[in-house]
Structure 1
């Protein structure tokens, strides 16, 4: 029975396509103007930093587990130069509504899983959920490129900063409570008590969220040329999730 299930999964799984370039929109969800920008950016990062960023969209993966599929696709294509393993796969499967950023061994130090998860959550998933695949993938690519460029000490020119989606700040206002505290300060204290008793209630709540850290907001852009497939390997680093 187990062998039958495994065989059924293997049959259902979509075979790995052959790479077309650094951007491989097999699902046909990236608008052409976005694809041009993403391609140019990936080329410049490859030329200047020697790191291959490869984008893949799939219409579906035929029932395969998406994290495993992305990892095996990375190895099958050999993203990055063999021995250096400086590569990143940005993977989206549309029917399953899953995405993953898979990192090669050579970039795990600058793109640890936690930071990749931040890029996923703040730069990609909010757009992918709205089927804005061009925005989500471009933003994710720019955020990854920014980290690589900073580490390599290079300047990327010609594009805006990636747009991070922040959690909304609280509408809580301290002003009414501060006025209330000031009034209490000038009221006579009751025997056995103090206005200070109320202070923790007014200072303990209403903390807003400032948005994530770890990512700067300056960025630059593009270049030319092609390559990026030289036998690179990934050990499963990165982060994925549903949208």
Structure 2
């Protein structure tokens, strides 16, 4: 009886684990609900934040004609989050074919990974370095707190500002510098550098005195 119960438990565990690992084809397309839906959250990770994200994505589309999609899941099949997100981007055909102006934010919670995928038409406004800064500035801190919805909202709002006003990138970079290791510890690092220089000078002077 114990062996049978254990076997049933293992089978259930395997089923649940396999079920949470999505394939590209099994992720629900939000457009199946209507054109005003942009977020796929089949595991209910971001909760009520989905409404705010749908509104932000709709605003981005109205202001820039870009087509945006957001996917938040527990896990997926395969080893590469980039390959999975890229294949999903192409499978859904995100972005108008003529402009290739799609943008996908893909989040895999259990792996603590995220990916931005853009069409060629978006690379001028949102190059990889800008999206990387957005991810580090807005997604990573909120994800560490378990606030995946809040992180996605902050990141998409930053993207909306940049598409509205390209100069907003300068503000983003300035904010990112303020959170950098150098900015936070520049006083201590400068003090250590000066101390090192003094020690080197003293060492050189003592070496010259000993030779004389």
Alignment TM-score, normalising by the size of structure 2: 0.66
> Could you tell me which residue of structure 2 aligns to residue 129 of structure 1?
144
1:52 touches 1:79 (CA, 8 Å); kept in 2?
yes
- Runs of 4+ residues over 3 Å off in structure 1: none
Q: In the alignment, what sits opposite 1:18?
A: 28
Which gives a bigger RCO, structure 1 or 2 (Cα 8 Å, sep 6+)?
1
Normalised by the length of structure 1, the TM-score is: 0.58
Q: CA deviation at 1:98?
A: 1.0
**Aligned: 1:71 with 2:86:** yes
After the TM superposition, which residues 36-55 of structure 1 pair with which residues of structure 2 at under 5 Å, given as runs? 36-55=51-70
Give the match for residue 108 of structure 2: 93
Aligned-pair CA distance for 1:149: 1.6
Equivalence for 1:27: 43
Equivalences, count: 160
Measure the CA separation in 2 of the matches of 1:144 and 1:55: 13
Are 1:201 and 2:194 matched, yes or no?
Answer: yes
1:55-110 deviation per Cα after TM superposition (whole angstroms, max 9, x unaligned) = 10112102341100000100100111112111210110122221111111110011
For residue 43 of structure 1, report the CA deviation from its aligned partner. 0.4
CA distance in structure 1 between the partners assigned to 2:57 and 2:108 by the alignment? 20
1-structure distance, mates of 2:161, 2:108? 24
Task: Tell me how far apart the structure 1 counterparts of residues 69 and 23 of structure 2 sit (CA, whole Å).
Answer: 18
- What SS does the aligned partner of 2:145 have? coil
**Counterpart mapping for 1:116-195 below 5 A:** 116-151=131-166, 166-167=179-180, 169-170=184-185, 172=187
CA deviations over 1:178-211 (Å, ceiling 9, x no partner): xxxxxxxxxxxxxxxxxxxxxx827x8xxxxxxx
Distance in 2, matches of 1:106 and 1:82, equals 10
| CA deviation after TM superposition for structure 1 residue 171, in Å | 7.7
Task: Kindly report the root-mean-square deviation, in angstroms, between the aligned alpha carbons of the 2 structures.
Answer: 3.1
